Amino acid sequence: MCPGIGPLFRGPPLGIGMLTAGIVLGIMVIPFISSVMRDVFRTVPASLKESAYALGSTTWEVVWQVVLPYTRSAVVGGIFLGLGRALGETMAVTFVLGNAHQLSASLLMPGNSIAATIANEFTEADSDVYLSSLIALGFLLFVVTFIVLAIARLMLRSLARKEGR
């Protein structure tokens, strides 16, 4: 067993677990992020790109040295928007996460997410404490999402300051 990453992959690969949910979420947010990126890249003035090509730049150099620096803050913002969507994703995660109320170090083990717990148990909440607990979980999810988006906003602000805007 590999000492560094061994505990992350301990246990039988059942196909249902945190790794599967992560892969599914990662694939799910790609179209959202790529559509945002497409719109962002279209905002780059053609004169900038054509100037770089006229100076002899290759396509990769135009992308890396002209397009990406021009759109850096929007690219980071788009990625964090995708992350925000992944954080709130419910049903796809519920189907593949395993819905086990335990925190395991292994990514192959089933787990649970806040949104999946609320979706699974809201109709079963037969007491006031149970219902209040689920609503508190919803509030916790709101706080986590708020913190992530606030960090994204701060990162964008620092990037804009670095660019001198």
Task: For residue 4, state whether it binds another protein (rule: CB under 8 A).
Answer: no
Task: Please say whether the beta carbons of 62 and 52 come within 8 A.
Answer: yes
Q: How far is CA 6 from CA 89, 102, 106, in A?
A: 28, 19, 9
CB 27, min distance to another protein, A: 8
The answer for residues whose C-beta is within 8 angstroms of residue 65's C-beta and 6 or more apart is: 52, 57
Task: For residue 58, state whether it binds another protein (rule: CB under 8 A).
Answer: yes
CB 65, min distance to another protein, A: 12
CB 31, min distance to another protein, A: 9
Residue span 8-37 as binding mask against another protein, x where in contact by CB under 8 A, dash where not: -------------------x--x-------
Residue span 103-142 as binding mask against another protein, x where in contact by CB under 8 A, dash where not: ----------------------------------------
| β strands within 13-140, DSSP E | none
Task: For residue 59, state whether it binds another protein (rule: CB under 8 A).
Answer: yes
Of 69, 36, 73, 67, give the one whose Cα is nearest residue 153.
Answer: 73
The answer for residues whose C-beta is within 8 angstroms of residue 46's C-beta and 6 or more apart is: none
Question: Which residue from 61, 136, 140, 151 is in contact with another protein, where contact means CB under 8 A?
Answer: 61
